[in-house]
Chain A
Amino acid sequence: MPNIKTVFERSEVLTSNQFHYCPGCTHGIAHRLIAEVVSEMGIQDRTIAVCPVGCSVLAYEYFDLDVVQAAHGRAPAVATGLRRSLPEDRYVFAYQGDGDLASIGMSEIIHAANRGEKITVIFLNNAIYGMTGGQMAPTTLPGMVTTTSPYGRDTLQCGHPVRMSEMLNTLVDPVFIARGALSQPKHVIKAKKLIRQAFELQHQGFTFVELLSTCPTGWGLTPTDSMHWLEHNMVPFFPLQVFREPGHAPEAANHYTPDLKVHG
């Protein structure tokens, strides 16, 4: 009898439901990687997901985990309340898109990170609002055409794309901040490592993984062309990098000696 080894199988942390995402959408890849990490860490019974409003609002149909569906932009706050109410050994992650996190939810993500909430935030940056039909997002690239920037994003009117990982990296308390991509096998493999690191460090403090993603429908490109477009256009503006790991807090943090009057 030939000895058959499984090289790859669908993770049991995913439900059997079929994804509703458009063909080639990288949300599906991100969901799979998270499920695989949760499965490999053996924490399916202790992980709670917080899903946003956006294309992945239906993520609660896909993770065989306890899930809380959060209002648009508020997942980091919901995750905070959840995390602060659960036993230490639980894992909480928020899964958000760029409209959800970098636009309406900008305040929540910055303050959750700044408080050092012991949660992981997975941030899918595809430079567009997908669910609502392809509008301009805070991460839409200069000159990029969307349904609300029909002449291309005009940076004089709408400013430049927001670099969330770099922005959060100015904060003292986050323990892990990294940006990856889902555009080709080597990046997907790396992205899974980043997600794994983020989950493993979550009990030490706030961890953040930004994943450059595609939106074939919103971009008006085929799934494969979208991958190439991402690499030629998004990666230059959003460099793939680990910005923060334990032991590398930004310089400013190390020399800050509070001179507050210390209560007795």
Chain B
Amino acid sequence: MGYDANLPVDQAVPSPAPERLLMKGAEAIAEAAIRAGCKNFFGYPITPQNEIPEYMSARLPEVGGTFVQAESEVASINMLYGAGSAGVRCMTSSSSPGLSLMSEGFSYLIGSEVPTVVVNIMRGGPGLGNIAPSQGDYLQMTRGFGHGDQKAIVLAPASVQEAVDLMSLAFDLSEKYRNPVVVIGDGLIGQMMEPVTFAPTVQSTTEKPWATTGKPPTRKRNIINSLYLDAETLEKHVLHLFEKFGRMEAEEQRAELYLTDDQPEIVICAFGTTARIAKSAIKVLRAQGIRVGLFRLISAWPFPQQAFQTLVEPTSAFLSIEMSMGQLVQDIRTQVAGRKPVEFWGRTGGVVPTSEEMVAQVQKLHHKLVAQG
């Protein structure tokens, strides 16, 4: 695993020994949230993430939680805002078009500093698109997902197990920074079945003195709000938010460097499903004598710059492989800043690239590099 869970784990409530289950990604994500202390879920049906609300509707009542099917994604994100204001661990999930509907509410969560978790199981777009897997929301998710100056941690699992682990991390990080956290997976992550092991259930004991739970005479009233009519005051508030974003950028970068120790000629940049497929392609290419490594983002925001910068000098060229028309590649180009060639290859429309296609693309780049001497 490429990440270090250095966060203080709240005192764990003993639950049955972590058993190993074969589970569908969406359901595993929901179970992981519950084991991370998630009490309330608000969501709306949209493929390919329906199993999350379905699972939540069955399981949450068993753990004293609440499931509400909202009338829309707009209502879902605003219910989440209400629940988060009460200081409860809560989440919503949706898929691409649903996330577009949630963007205003998401900006409210950030402006009002309400901790919560949002899951996006991405599908083909734009518009209605289709329900096939995609990574086409990368820029929307990582470039500030709503209006105004704002950012949020975006975690990108590449397997069902990693999705499970990142869910509890997401809840911890949302409370650590009082900022929503997004977990993005493409349709495959949601629909794949894989064996998973769950960590013991955790009951969040983080104190939330800011929560709006009813004002006892002993304290001043709490206000969850993002309105600051006076410009100077709003600027001060935004600078405070950016102080938090700065800490996130410094402390929450997460990536996996795969077979990059022997200073490979080419490094594939990818996240989620495409990164997993790339590992198979890399095996084939290395057998053919082409040294290829993989830079896999686990945090899509903050971009894992510390890890990436170690690769720029020794690497001859970078190839960003995505299920989109090239969005991550923009970040790679920014990081490389012209020092080395950065190329992109991808499939879109919900087409999942094969390792054979990836092998062919890397071979083409390799021959080009060889030709250039």
Contacts and interface: CB of A to CB of B under 8 A. Distances in A.
Establish whether A and B are touching in the complex (CB under 8 Å).
yes
Interface of A: 44-48, 50, 57-58, 60, 63-71, 74, 77-87, 90, 107-108, 110-111, 115
Closest 6 pairs between A and B when the two form their complex, measured CB to CB: A81-B82, A81-B79, A66-B212, A82-B82, A74-B78, A77-B78
Nearest to B213: A86
A79 B42 CA distance: 13
Interface string B61-92: 00000101011101110111111111110100
Contacts of A84: 40, 66, 68, 79, 82-83
A65 B86 CA distance: 13
Interface stretch (B149-157, B223-231, B234-242): B223-231
A64 B220 CA distance: 8
A70 B81 contact: yes
A44 B219 CA distance: 12
Interface of B: 39-40, 42, 66, 68, 70-72, 74-76, 78-88, 90, 104-105, 108, 112, 212-217, 221-227, 229
A81 B215 contact: no
A206 B88 CA distance: 22
A68 B109 CA distance: 11
B214 A78 contact: no
Contacts, number: 133
Please indicate which of the listed interface residues A67, A68, A111 has the most CB atoms of chain B within 10 Å of its own CB.
A68
B215 A90 contact: no
A45 B222 CA distance: 12
A10 B227 CA distance: 27
B217 A74 contact: no
Given A67-B221, A85-B39, A45 B82 contact: no
A107 B66 contact: no
Nearest to A66: B212
B194 to A, nearest CB: 30
Given A77-B75, A111-B70, A85 B108 contact: no
Please indicate which of the listed interface residues A44, A78, A79 has the most CB atoms of chain B within 10 Å of its own CB.
A78
B224 A90 contact: no
B94 to A, nearest CB: 15
Contact of B40 (A45, A46, A81, A90): A81
Contact of B78 (A65, A81, A83): A81
Contact of B215 (A50, A57, A65, A79): A65
A110 B75 CA distance: 12
B71 A108 contact: yes
A74 B221 CA distance: 22
B223 A66 contact: yes
B214 A85 contact: no
Contacts of A63: 221
Contact of B213 (A44, A67, A90): A90
Contact of A69 (B71, B74, B86, B112): B112
B227 A80 contact: no
Contacts of B112: 69
Given A69-B224, A107-B72, A81 B212 contact: no
Nearest to B88: A85
B214 A67 contact: no
Given A48-B214, A67-B212, A68-B212, 17 more contacts: A45-B214, A48-B212, A60-B225, A66-B212, A66-B214, A66-B215, A67-B222, A70-B82, A71-B81, A71-B105, A80-B75, A81-B40, A81-B78, A82-B212, A84-B40, A85-B82, A86-B213
A133 to B, nearest CB: 16
B43 to A, nearest CB: 12
B212 to A, nearest CB: 4
Please indicate which of the listed interface residues A60, A69, A70, A81 has the most CB atoms of chain B within 10 Å of its own CB.
A81
Nearest to A91: B214
A74 B212 CA distance: 17
A77 B70 contact: yes
A108 B221 contact: no
A78 B78 contact: yes
Given A45-B216, A48-B214, A70 B78 contact: yes
Nearest to A67: B223
A93 to B, nearest CB: 12
A82 B85 contact: yes
A83 B80 CA distance: 11
A85 B221 contact: no
Contacts of A85: 39-40, 66, 82-83, 86-88, 90
A46 B221 CA distance: 11
A107 B75 CA distance: 9
Contacts of B212: 48, 66-68, 82
Contact of A46 (B80, B214, B225, B226): B214
A108 B215 CA distance: 26
B90 A69 contact: no
